[in-house]
Structure formats: structure tokens, C-alpha cells
Structure 1
Amino acid sequence: MTTTALRRGSPPRRGWRVPAGLLLLGFIPVLAGAFRLTQLGGGAEITPANERFFATPGPVVVHIVAVSGYAILGALQFAPRLRARRRGWHRVAGRLVVLCGLIGALSGLWLTLFFPRPDNVGDLLTAVRLVVGSAWILFLVLGFTAIRRRDVAGHRVWMIRAYALAMGAGTQAVTQVPLIVAVGELDRLGNALAMSAGWAINVAVAEWLIRRRPSRPVRNTKPLEAR
């Protein structure tokens, strides 16, 4: 929490509302990933629905571990008290966030391009996934290079955008599950629209947060440190 916020009498716990909400959102893909890892490691029965995961488990495991680390560490990066009081932790965790994000995005692109598609995944959803994965990588690179230039404001903006895209998997549970309950299994178009809606919602919220309090460019006057 910033000094200004403390002067205004804001309770310290308010600084944890955003990261707590993000952790809750990230819990959905993390839980799904843990379930998949349990299947792969526990010798679950191979069915037509999961056989592609057992055929090539390596990229799946890499993607799950990277995205899980990104979801958890990334959420904690939004805690102002941690940023203010534990700058060393913020820098180290930030590097891990970028690394996990790049690995998660690259492995996700590989899975999109080379993994067997389930019946409800068509060309439209594949194209959207390629755009989202590429944008995720671009935003991470822009965020990292911004902090290397000591552009703190630019770093914040690009990392918010990157996290919003990555956490589309959490919001997709909200956009998909009600439709499945209402109409049953979604076809390729319905599945593509429901999943795209999850990413779109996250992007819209991220842009609203970025523009809610426009800030002047901030330059870090301390020695160059990658966060």
C-alpha cells in the first residue's frame, strides 16, 4: 500500500482485494491443471476425451506448470504492500512471472498448432488462440523492456494486459458453463464465441482499469533493476 493511501486512513487489507480476486480467478485454471496432472501421473483410464494428453504429455505438463506459476505469482504482483515493502521480492518474482508467462504462451501456441483438436474446436477458435498467445508474448516483452528503460507506468500497463489475457481461462468458466447448462454441449461456433467472450471481458476490464486513473509517465531514478 502506498504512503498516500496510508495517510488517507485506508485499511491495509484493502490492498489485498485485487490480488485476492485474481487468485480466485486463477484458481480455476490452476485447479483444472492440477486435475490433469493427477490424471497423467496417476494412470487414469484413457478415453477418447483425454487420449491426446497421454499421447504427448510433455508439452501439456510444461504448459500447466508454467501457467499455474504465472497465475499465482502474477496475482501477488498486484499487491501494493508487497511492491512497496519487498522490492527485492517484487523484482525476483517479476522475472519469474515473465519467464512462466513466456513458457506458458509458447507451449500454448505449440499445443494449438500441433495438438489434436477435440471435436468442438474449429478454425475460428484456433485462430483466436493464436492471436491471444502471440499478444500475450508481445505484452510480456513490452512490459519487460519498459521496466528496463525505467518506464514504470508503461511496465504496469503492459503487464496488466498480459495478465488479463492469460487469465481468460478463468473467465471462460463463467462464459461457458451457463451456456452448457442451458443448451448442452456447445458446437464449434458456440464454443469459440464463449471462449472468445472470456478473453474479451478480461481485456475490457484491464483497459478500464488502465484508463480509470491516467497517470503521467514515471521514470525510476534508482539504479536500473528489472522487475
Structure 2
Amino acid sequence: MPAALILLSAVPVIAGAVRLNELIAGAAVTPENARFFAVPTPVVTHIFCVGVYSVLGAFQFASGFRRRRPGWHRAAGRLLIPCGLVAALTGLWMTLFYPRPAGDGDLLTGFRLVFGTAMVVSILLGLAAIRRRDVTGHRAWMIRGYAIALGAGTQVLTHLSWFLFFGAPGEFARALLMGAGWMINLAVAEWLIRRRPVRSPRTLTGHADDHRRSPGVMAREGRRTRLSS
């Protein structure tokens, strides 16, 4: 799962790196990037925090690694929580205060505000849950927050599918495709949260047999086993 999550976040991380290179190298100012050159701090902070949150957060889903190194899980969480909050808050700031780019309408702005706020709330609820030692609640809220953060990766897939069949999306279609990316991720997150762990057939059979057999039968079977050995 960590490899799949890193792959999903690869496109937005690469796009962020390209944007940083533009700002550092002093690329030509265009209508598309003028807002970033005018006030670079929010977008630079956003790109850095999203990259750390997406890549490092993927390893929190490696259950075997977490069990072997519980200290690493806690240490990484102390970095992921502020990175996730800063990523969401800078995203909200850019939505509210940067000039709106071409192709972004009121509906998409509303989606960004709703899901950005939901990411902040999810991370804070996850933090509150672990402080009261509610591990199940902590896991659920952190998965939801991470799912929202990876919306940019899924939005690449929703846009690509639309482009292959219908061409470039208009303002309304673009907003729906962006919203679909967040909703798909949240649907998968809820499935992960609510699914029950599968117990092995051997364990289930053993418990069922023990309940069906009486103590006397189990004692006789034990004596036969000792005599045969």
C-alpha cells in the first residue's frame, strides 16, 4: 500500500517541484503563475508540506513496519500532523486570497474550501483522539485527512479519463472532476476504516469446535493423544 500511495501522490509532488523550480530560477511571469511570484511564501510552504505529508504519510499504512518500529510511527506522526495542518491551511489561504485562475468558478472554490476545512478538522480530531488514547478514532480521522490530501493525485486520473473521451473540461465539468477526486478518496478511506479484520479459517474452526465439544470429550481425546504418543 505505501508504494501505491506514493505513486498516487507522484504527479502533484512533481508538479510542485516544477513550480518551485520556476520560482527559484526566475521563470517568465505569465497570467497563470503571476500570483505565485507576487506572494510566493504560501505556495512554497504548501508544496513542501504536501510533499512531506504525502510521502512520509504513506508509510503509516505499512502495518508490519509500524508493529516492528512503534517509536518510528509516533515520531513520524509528530511531523505529519503539523505538515498536514499547514498544507491544508495554506491551501485555504490561496483559495481565498490568490486571484482566481482561469477555469476556476464558484463551485470549485466552494469545493476547495469545504475539503480543505474537512482536512483540518480531520487532523485535529485525530490528534484529540490519540491524546485521550482512542487509537481507533485516531486511525479513522487520520485516514480521512490523508485521503483528502491525496485528492490531487486522484484528480489527475479523473481529468485524464474525461480528456480521453470528451476533451478539455469546461468550468463546471472541471469542478465536478475535482470534487470526484476528493469523494473517491474519501469513499476508499471509509471502506478501509469500516472493514473488519479477517480471521484465519483455522482459528475460526478451532474456536467453533471447542464450543461444540463437551469437557468430557475433550479430556478423552487428550488421554488418547498421550497414549498414542
For the superposition of Structure 1 and Structure 2, which TM-score range results when normalised by the shorter chain? Answer: 0.7 to 0.9
- Aligned equivalent of 2:132: 149
| Structure 1 Cα separation of the partners of residues 51 and 86 of structure 2 | 11
- Aligned equivalent of 2:168: 185
Aligned counterpart in structure 2 of residue 88 of structure 1, from 71, 75, 92: 71
Percent identity reads: 59
Q: Does 1:161 align with 2:144?
A: yes
Aligned counterpart in structure 2 of residue 53 of structure 1, from 22, 29, 36: 36
Q: Does 1:62 align with 2:7?
A: no
Task: Report Cα offsets for 1:39-67 as digits up to 9, x if no partner.
Answer: 11112122222222211111000100011
Q: Does 1:108 align with 2:81?
A: no
Deviation at 1:117?
0.8
More helix by share: 2
SS in structure 1 opposite 2:47? helix
- Aligned equivalent of 1:202: 185
Matched residue count: 198
- Aligned equivalent of 1:10: none
| The 10-residue stretch of structure 1 (41-50 or 154-163) with the greater mean CA deviation from structure 2 | 41-50
Deviation at 1:195?
0.4
- Aligned equivalent of 1:13: none
Label 1:189 to 1:69 Cα distance change in 2 as closer, same or farther (>3 A). Answer: same
- Aligned equivalent of 1:9: none
Larger-Rg structure: 2
| Structure 1 Cα separation of the partners of residues 63 and 197 of structure 2 | 18
| Structure 2 Cα separation of the partners of residues 112 and 214 of structure 1 | 40
Q: Is the 8 A contact 1:161 1:206 kept in 2?
A: yes
Amino acid at match of 1:44: A
Deviation at 1:178?
2.7
CA RMSD of aligned residues (A): 1.4
- Aligned equivalent of 1:36: 19
Q: Is the 8 A contact 1:120 1:186 kept in 2?
A: no
Q: Is the 8 A contact 1:63 1:103 kept in 2?
A: yes
| Structure 1 Cα separation of the partners of residues 165 and 99 of structure 2 | 28
Gaps of 5+ in 2: 199-229
SS in structure 2 opposite 1:213? coil
Aligned counterpart in structure 2 of residue 98 of structure 1, from 81, 84, 89: 81
Amino acid at match of 1:57: P
SS in structure 2 opposite 1:77? helix
State the TM-score, normalizing by the size of structure 2: 0.83
| Structure 2 Cα separation of the partners of residues 71 and 106 of structure 1 | 16
- Aligned equivalent of 2:158: 175
Amino acid at match of 2:115: V
Aligned counterpart in structure 2 of residue 75 of structure 1, from 58, 63, 67: 58
Aligned counterpart in structure 1 of residue 3 of structure 2, from 15, 20, 25: 20
